[in-house]
Amino acid sequence: MDFTLSEEQHLIQDSFSKALEGLVSLETVREVVENRTGQDLKAVSALTALGMPGLLVSETYGGSGLGLLEAILVSEELGRQAAPVPYVASSVMAVKALEIGGSERQKQDWLPAVASGEKRLSVAFAELAGGQRREAGVQSSNGRLSGGATFALDIQGADAVLVSDQNGQVFIVPLTTEEVSIESFPSIDGTRTAGHIELDTVEGDLLEGLSGAELTHVINAGRIALAADSLGACETMLQKAVEYSLERKQFGRAIGSFQAVKHMCAEMAAELQPCRALIWQAAYAADYLPEEFNLSVLLAKSHMDEVSRMIAKSATEVFGGMGFADLPGMHFWYKRVGFNRAMLGAPERLRQEAAALQGL
């Protein structure tokens, strides 16, 4: 049996890799973070032209109709470059939610516009996926929503947000109405945007087909996309650490020749290598082994989050004092994997869900 990527999948991966290398430099990331814009509009426009928002949108509605594995290959490349563009919420979770639970009217209203980049959706499922936070939560009554939803992902520039209420129902809420107030807040990761949404008896458009198992599938699609982003970020941190160890000299020798540094780099590589198989397998299961999808995602993301923390720490230590300086830019990837770890459930919560799923 052939477990490698298909020719089409390699083409998708290479296309986005080359595009991102030309679009996103360290200076691009630094400028976005310093200006607190949360995204680079030039990169967003170019990746939209490449078809990124419509990867998971079915061909009926103007998208590419690809699977979750193809989507996480793109997520991996975004993490590799620390690309300041919206993706996990807007191009993965929101699209999955509409494809699975949207009515024909809702699909016609949103999916073609999302695929073309004309419209963008944010997602606010933090209370469901990560645990209830104090003074947060949305209540619904007769189709009207009140309360607060925190950590709405990809909120900047979004036209509407998918919000979950206290009963696990999901509504599409336009962000242009006066009954919705948005407070963007800085997070540890300046390359992506999140915010708090306050709803004052605003009317929502219920996704009637999205509840229970279907909603769990959407959340887990977002989780595995975040894990893939961390995988790409960790590969970059490891690569930078190895390159620096071969350039930096101490006592007339490259520090990469010192046994302690060799062992650090080898340990990072050994810990990272199995993560790709876990993540790719989980994404593959979404479309071909649905009975294994949820457990595979929970195990893959919880493990990736732990490995990413180790690699971020060790790779920074290889740089010594320079690792904490702005010049190498290691902190951008360090913070990015920290953001991914916290979103949609920390490792401890995911392992608890995995245990419950297995009846443990």
Q: Is the dihedral of CA 39, 45, 47, 48 positive or negative?
A: positive
Q: What is residue 110's predicted lDDT score, i.e. its pLDDT?
A: 95
The reply to whether 274 falls in a domain is: yes
The reply to whether 2 falls in a domain is: no
Q: What is residue 129's predicted lDDT score, i.e. its pLDDT?
A: 77
- 148 and 237 share one domain: no
- 342 and 229 share one domain: yes
- 238 and 201 share one domain: no
With a cut of 60, say whether residue 300 has pLDDT above it: yes
The enclosing domain of 353 has a CATH number of: 1.20.140.10
- 218 and 198 share one domain: no
Model confidence pLDDT, tens digit, residues 181-232: 888 777 888 899 888 888 888 888 999 888 889 999 999 999 999 999 999 9
Strands 170-174 and 205-206: antiparallel
- 69 and 125 share one domain: no
The reply to whether 189 falls in a domain is: yes
| Helices marked H in 61-164 | 68-81, 94-101, 104-116, 126-129
With a cut of 60, say whether residue 292 has pLDDT above it: yes
Confidence of residue 178 (pLDDT cuts 50, 70, 90): confident
- Across the chain, mean pLDDT equals 90
- 186 and 53 share one domain: no
Residues 97, 100, 103, 107, Cα dihedral to 10°:
60
Q: What is the DSSP letter of 186?
A: -
- 345 and 217 share one domain: yes
Please state the rounded mean pLDDT for residues 57-74: 95
Q: Flag whether the pTM goes above 0.85.
A: yes
With a cut of 60, say whether residue 93 has pLDDT above it: yes
Model confidence pLDDT, tens digit, residues 304-349: 999 999 999 999 998 887 878 888 889 999 999 999 999 999 999 9
Domain count, the chain: 3
Q: What is the DSSP letter of 250?
A: E
The reply to whether 1 falls in a domain is: no
DSSP secondary structure string, 302-331?
HHHHHHHHHHHHHHHHHTGGGGGSTTT-HH
Q: What is residue 135's predicted lDDT score, i.e. its pLDDT?
A: 53
Q: What is residue 195's predicted lDDT score, i.e. its pLDDT?
A: 87
- 111 and 12 share one domain: yes
Tell me how far apart the terminal alpha carbons of the chain are, to the nearest angstrom.
33
Q: What is residue 120's predicted lDDT score, i.e. its pLDDT?
A: 94
User: How much of the chain exceeds pLDDT 90, in percent?
Assistant: 66
The reply to whether 249 falls in a domain is: yes
With a cut of 80, say whether residue 3 has pLDDT above it: no
Confidence of residue 247 (pLDDT cuts 50, 70, 90): confident
Q: What is residue 321's predicted lDDT score, i.e. its pLDDT?
A: 77
Asked which of 64, 92, 116 is the last residue of a domain, the reply is 116
C-alpha span between 261 and 334 (Å, rounded): 19
The enclosing domain of 149 has a CATH number of: 2.40.110.10
∠ Cα 275 83 121 (to 5°): 95
C-alpha span between 258 and 254 (Å, rounded): 8
The reply to whether 140 falls in a domain is: yes
Q: What is residue 30's predicted lDDT score, i.e. its pLDDT?
A: 94
- 218 and 352 share one domain: yes
Identify the top-confidence range among 88-92, 139-143, 241-245, 262-266: 88-92
The reply to whether 228 falls in a domain is: yes
Reported as half-sphere exposure (CB side, CA atoms, 13 A), residue 99 has a value of 26
The enclosing domain of 47 has a CATH number of: 1.10.540.10
C-alpha span between 88 and 224 (Å, rounded): 9
CB 120 within 8 A of CB 159: yes
Q: What is residue 133's predicted lDDT score, i.e. its pLDDT?
A: 56
The reply to whether 349 falls in a domain is: yes
Question: Which domain, by its residues, includes 131?
Answer: 121-206
Strands 144-153 and 137-141: antiparallel
With a cut of 80, say whether residue 19 has pLDDT above it: yes
With a cut of 80, say whether residue 101 has pLDDT above it: yes
Model confidence pLDDT, tens digit, residues 139-162: 888 878 888 888 889 988 899 999
Question: Which amino acid type is present at position 255?
Answer: I
DSSP secondary structure string, 108-126?
HHHHHHHHHTS--EEEE-H
Q: Which range among 44-58, 187-201, 293-307 shows the weakest confidence by mean pLDDT?
A: 187-201
Confidence of residue 131 (pLDDT cuts 50, 70, 90): low
Confidence of residue 289 (pLDDT cuts 50, 70, 90): very high
Please state the rounded mean pLDDT for residues 272-293: 94
Q: What is the DSSP letter of 130?
A: T
Distances (CA, A) of 47 to 44, 227, 228: 5, 21, 18
Asked which of 67, 101, 116 is the last residue of a domain, the reply is 116
C-alpha span between 253 and 257 (Å, rounded): 7
- 112 and 125 share one domain: no
Q: What is residue 99's predicted lDDT score, i.e. its pLDDT?
A: 95
Rounded to 5 degrees, φ, ψ at 154 are: 55, 40
- 331 and 229 share one domain: yes
Please state the rounded mean pLDDT for residues 52-74: 95
How many CB atoms are located within 10 Å of the residue 258 CB? 14
Please state the rounded mean pLDDT for residues 273-296: 95
Asked which of 116, 147, 166 is the last residue of a domain, the reply is 116
User: How much of the chain exceeds pLDDT 70, in percent?
Assistant: 97
- 180 and 274 share one domain: no
Confidence of residue 132 (pLDDT cuts 50, 70, 90): low
